[in-house]
Amino acid sequence: MHRCIGIICFSQRSYLQGRVNINACCYYSLFRLTLVFNPPGSYFAPIKRLRAIKALFSAVGSNFLNCSSLNCIRRIFQIIYASNTLPMDGIMADMIILAMSNFTLTCFILGLLCALLEWLVRSRPMEKAMVIELIFSWYLLFNIGLAYLFNFIMHVFFGDFTAQFIGWPQSPFQMEVGFASLGIALNGIISFKGQIAFRAATIIVPALFLWGAAGGHLYQMIVAHNFEPGNAGSIFWTDIFMPIIAFLLLWLQYRNPENRVS
């Protein structure tokens, strides 16, 4: 039963006044999925910790029901498609909203798909070092190059919207963050086919930036009860785990230097 609830909650969409509440559903799903591996009878000592997690997720859900950032994205695409050539209440609009509001996760998935596609079109079997190179290079291009280029565009040209998405007031510092993101993006693009030393330098800067940002997001959730999608959505989790993935790929490539693809 718990397995079914977890899977259904992860795929469902909650609506309130025409707003797509995707991130809140994902948070609730993560909690329900913990029950798959930890049935209620096996909680014992961690029960207080799990109750605290449940309370946090409940707060996330209630706050997401009142947020309007995804509705803002919908309005942007309604302006773009003013001719009504595409139904904005259809599945395509929902997919666009999901991709844009979770752009770091979207970039990660696109990078994996490109690596898989390149692997499929290769005419000969690849060694372990080649597989690592494929995954790492596309990760650098998408999760650092294109993701931070998107970050630059949003902070510099759509500062008001980005501030609302995060749940912060507009500030001139957004432009500085945007141009810093542009520099990181260029490093990511160059490191797509760069050497391992340059790649190591490329991932250190965004790793420290993302871990610091994750700490700031957590602080805002605890102190300011800020559960906006740009603060407590998937961006919070990708801020934590994407640098870990990058360092893992760097370590794997370092362990296979003799077959390193230049």
Residue 57 clears pLDDT 80, i.e. is over it: no
Residue 33 clears pLDDT 60, i.e. is over it: no
What pTM did the predictor assign?
Answer: 0.62
Q: Average pLDDT for residues 93-120, to the nearest whole number? A: 83
Instruction: Let me know whether 79 and 27 are in one domain.
Output: no
Higher-pLDDT residue of 201, 234? 201
**Cross-strand partners of 21:** 14
Instruction: Let me know whether 115 and 134 are in one domain.
Output: yes
- Give the end of a domain, one of 82, 101, 120: 101
Instruction: Let me know whether 35 and 80 are in one domain.
Output: no
Q: Which residues are within 8 A (CB) of 241 and not within 5 positions of it... i.e. 6 or more apart?
A: none
Instruction: Let me know whether 212 and 127 are in one domain.
Output: yes
Q: Average pLDDT for residues 80-87, to the nearest whole number? A: 47
Residue 5's pLDDT is 37
Instruction: Let me know whether 145 and 250 are in one domain.
Output: yes
Q: Average pLDDT for residues 122-143, to the nearest whole number? A: 90
Residue 192 clears pLDDT 90, i.e. is over it: yes
Mean pLDDT of the chain: 72
Instruction: Let me know whether 141 and 54 are in one domain.
Output: no
Residue 28's pLDDT is 44
Three-state DSSP class for residue 16: strand
Residue 124's pLDDT is 78
Instruction: Let me know whether 130 and 168 are in one domain.
Output: yes
Residue 126's pLDDT is 83
**Contact criterion met (CB below 8 Å) for 249 and 135:** yes
Residue 19's pLDDT is 39
**Cross-strand partners of 15:** 20
Three-state DSSP class for residue 14: strand
Residue 10 clears pLDDT 50, i.e. is over it: no
Range of the domain at 92: 72-101
How many domains would you assign to the chain? 3
Instruction: Let me know whether 191 and 158 are in one domain.
Output: yes
Instruction: Let me know whether 136 and 60 are in one domain.
Output: no
Q: Average pLDDT for residues 151-176, to the nearest whole number? A: 84
- Give the end of a domain, one of 67, 89, 121: 67
Instruction: Let me know whether 142 and 29 are in one domain.
Output: no
Instruction: Let me know whether 106 and 96 are in one domain.
Output: no
- Give the end of a domain, one of 101, 122, 149: 101
Residue 115 clears pLDDT 50, i.e. is over it: yes
